[in-house]
Structure 1
């Protein structure tokens, strides 16, 4: 057999072995398998993305430190994993993109799982359930008793949130999506919108923190909205199991409730 032919056969065999190796590193969905939990432990750090304008879940104190219920959960997850934690603050609608771009390891930012998000990420078990409530200018609460009363009005929501979907689905007037919760509040105070739809605890905080605002009776809770959960890259089941284990422990110890109550008290002291 000629040398050239032998080399050709050897090359084909090598390519075949490499192909088998690559196929062996894929998961059931056909995408390259990964193990973020092992990477986090090897790096001795978990990088968490959140939008720090969502009190009492994540917000800044007077010194500019990011605090809140979600931050306390992050600390407990890191402790159970035996690693440090790093928080990266960003706009809410950029969180999943950052996760997909490997800029963060986990999202813990008052995020509700929904079918669209579940196409891109894997969620932990839920840790907090809420309804959405309307914030309006002082003296306007009496104008809004039902969603129907929002007809012809402009409602601000934070871009990329469940509230944006809820407002559009309920056909609650004209919906204006803005980058931050604070942008929505400023738009309301500046009379650029008529109301803001927020998760109830966030709505309560903003109504309490701003003397010119108040809560309206209008609440929205749809059957598809799931409790807040942590999000990680698709099919990261090992990391999901680890975070679920921490959340199970925190619930059993009553710490999820205490984290929420402490965060509400911290908001009140600002």
Structure 2
């Protein structure tokens, strides 16, 4: 999770975040995707909160919602200099936690394993700039069309698109996806960016192969671009914009072309867990109505991606 074209298909998926300039700056403290980093200071744990009774009994009694997240995706979720989990998603979770009387405990994991973590009950939900689309809802592999799981439900909360960026002053003539033919692009594994790159690779003419390098997290892709190992990186717009703003003091990268594939971010919840899903939707609706939601998005430069209401499974 646009100044963009919109050609989303049911086969694509992403982590996208919003139109508008990213107004935040600062140095990103990275965390390894394999870490299990728990952020225990979020939420009130107050069972007298307005929506506490809407939660499943076991979660209300525990006072915790366990969240699977790839916490290396600034400004959506990342570690600040003190090691605290921060960003758009954690701030929204904080606000929702006050409505629900629980804290949201973020655990770090690789992005492409988050839905598996929900199925295994390692996490109650996944909140990680995850695009809501039909393939995820249905548990279908977007490339093969084969069933790979029972699917998840999404509580939608933001709209965003996908961008391409290059080394600053070294665009190589790249202005959009077709220009990647004959070049190398780095992406995060399991994202819409990887899906789009694979789709584009099939369209490239003979002798102009698009080489795709997929990494466990976006920071690795950025490092590869910074070193000159690839020609471009694709990621969600807010992440691309944040990288352009902060890396090398704004001297490392530049965004090329328009955003594409505008779609909603959603909080993923296991099929059959309607009570938790509906409680999360009620909490998101409450902070949207109170105005706290818009303040959080504006804080991170993502206000243009705000939604007027939270819906369930709004992705296509």
Any unmatched runs of 5+ in structure 1?
A: 1-34, 266-270
Relative contact order (C-alpha < 8 Å, sep 6+): which is higher? 2
Q: Does 1:219 align with 2:258?
A: yes
Matched, 1:95 2:134: no
Choose between structure 1 and 2: higher helix proportion.
Answer: 1
Q: What stretches of structure 1 move > 6 A for 4+ residues in a row? A: none
Shift of residue 70, structure 1, vs aligned partner: 0.3
Matches within 5 A, 1:69-218: 69-118=88-137, 119=139, 120-141=150-171, 143-171=173-201, 173-211=210-248, 212-218=251-257
| Structure 2 spans left out of the alignment, 5+ residues | 1-53, 140-149, 205-209, 303-316
Deviations 1:34-78 (A, max 9, x none): x98332113221111111111111011111111011001212232
> 1:8-55 CA distances to partner (integer Å, 9 max, x unpaired)?
xxxxxxxxxxxxxxxxxxxxxxxxxxx983321132211111111111
Q: How many residues align?
A: 229
**Partners of 2:55 and 2:100 within 8 A in 1:** no
Alpha-carbon shift at residue 143 of structure 1 (Å): 1.5
CA contact (8 A) 2:185 2:212 kept: yes
CA RMSD, 1 decimal? 2.1
Larger Rg: 1
Q: Which one is further off, 92-101 or 37-46? A: 37-46
What displacement does 1:142 show? 6.1
Q: TM-score, normalised by structure 2?
A: 0.67
**SS of alignment partner, residue 135 of structure 1:** strand
* Structure 2 Cα separation of the partners of residues 190 and 89 of structure 1: 26
SS in 2 for 1:143: coil
Name the CA distance, whole Å, in 1 between partners of 2:118 and 2:151. 9
TM-score, length-scaled by structure 1: 0.78
